[in-house]
Amino acid sequence: MKKTLIAGLLLAALASFAVQAQDTTSTTDAASNKGGWTGSGEFGFASATGNTRSQNINAKLGLSQENDQWKNNFFLDALRAKSQLKVVDAAGNTVNDYNTTANRYDGGASVGYKFDQRSYIVGAARYDHDEFGANLWQGVISLGYGYIALKDERNELSFEIGPGYKEYRPANVDVVVDGVLVPQQQSTQNEVVARGLVNYKLKISDNTSFEDTFLMEAGSKNTYLQNDAGLAVTMTKKLAIKVGFQVRHNSSVVVGLKKTDTLATTNLVYNF
């Protein structure tokens, strides 16, 4: 499933770029505005030293395209955190233990072909790996229908819905073996899901914008919900500061894990 998703993402990207290359060579206007392509990269870093030590890194890369024929999106995200913890060893001594507390990366793509200015058919794929999440990894592919309900100078609202197929492996469960906790690997699960996506963009002012994206992957075994909200303030034509808040929720998790994870970020954004 992992190899299939990665191959699907690469093929979708190559196909979209190839078609767009043909379009841009045939029209001067399309070449001048990059065929509707825009992109942004985000990076946030925090480090503490002294009595406590910690490092937190998060990075995001996004590409999007919209023109008269295509509505495409590609993304890559990464999150990693380490912190120093005081633990008691077997001899009863208190020592500092520097452990990884977050290690997550995910990527995805959606390729939409427009029937008209409002309606489009969309194929989407997403893969997520999280060593500290409810699922160690999860991958989804889907095909659906999209509709741009609102689009003007300040607002844009779009919806996507359709069936999909999901595979995932729940997080390991610690079991006691001879008095020692041993992580036990869970079996891979799969199911048909209903995928829904709602995206809203608001231009508050010339240099301030807000965006909220809600994703649902509903299945009989597990329903995954994710909401990403972000407020960006532009400093120059290329640079911006963005504060974001992400919520992830799984309806079914192994014993001992929480169903909801949140992430708050403050990042430097480079637009291209």
**What's the number of domains the chain is made of?**
1
pLDDT, one tens digit per residue, over 101-116 is 899 999 999 999 999 9
Q: Which residue has the higher pLDDT, 182 or 4?
A: 182
Q: Which residue has the higher pLDDT, 50 or 69?
A: 69
Q: Which residue in this structure is represented by tokens 């005081």?
A: 86
- The DSSP secondary-structure symbol of 53 reads -
| 24 Cβ neighbours under 8 A, 6+ residues apart | 30, 31, 35
Please tell me the distance from the alpha carbon of residue 216 to that of residue 170, in angstroms, as a whole number: 18
Q: pLDDT tier at 87 (50, 70, 90 boundaries)?
A: low
Q: Which residue has the higher pLDDT, 59 or 19?
A: 59
Asked if the model's pLDDT at residue 246 lies above 50, the reply is: yes
Beta strands in the chain (DSSP E): 37-48, 54-66, 70-88, 94-114, 119-130, 135-151, 155-170, 173-177, 180-184, 189-203, 208-218, 223-234, 239-250, 260-271
Please tell me the distance from the alpha carbon of residue 154 to that of residue 10, in angstroms, as a whole number: 33
pTM of the model: 0.82
* Four-residue CA torsion sign, 188, 194, 197, 198: negative
Asked if the model's pLDDT at residue 10 lies above 50, the reply is: no
Q: What is the mean pLDDT of residues 3-17?
A: 44
For position 191, what pLDDT does the model report?
97
Domain extent, residue 267, equals 2-271
Please tell me the distance from the alpha carbon of residue 227 to that of residue 219, in angstroms, as a whole number: 18
Asked if the model's pLDDT at residue 55 lies above 50, the reply is: yes
pLDDT, one tens digit per residue, over 142-198 is 999 999 999 999 999 999 999 999 999 999 887 777 777 788 888 999 999 999 999
Using CB atoms within 10 A of its CB, is residue 171 exposed (0-12), middle (13-18) or buried (19+)? buried
Asked if the model's pLDDT at residue 24 lies above 70, the reply is: no
170 with 190: CB under 8 angstroms? no
Q: pLDDT tier at 239 (50, 70, 90 boundaries)?
A: very high
Asked if the model's pLDDT at residue 6 lies above 50, the reply is: no
> What is the CATH number for 105?
2.40.160.40
- The DSSP secondary-structure symbol of 32 reads H
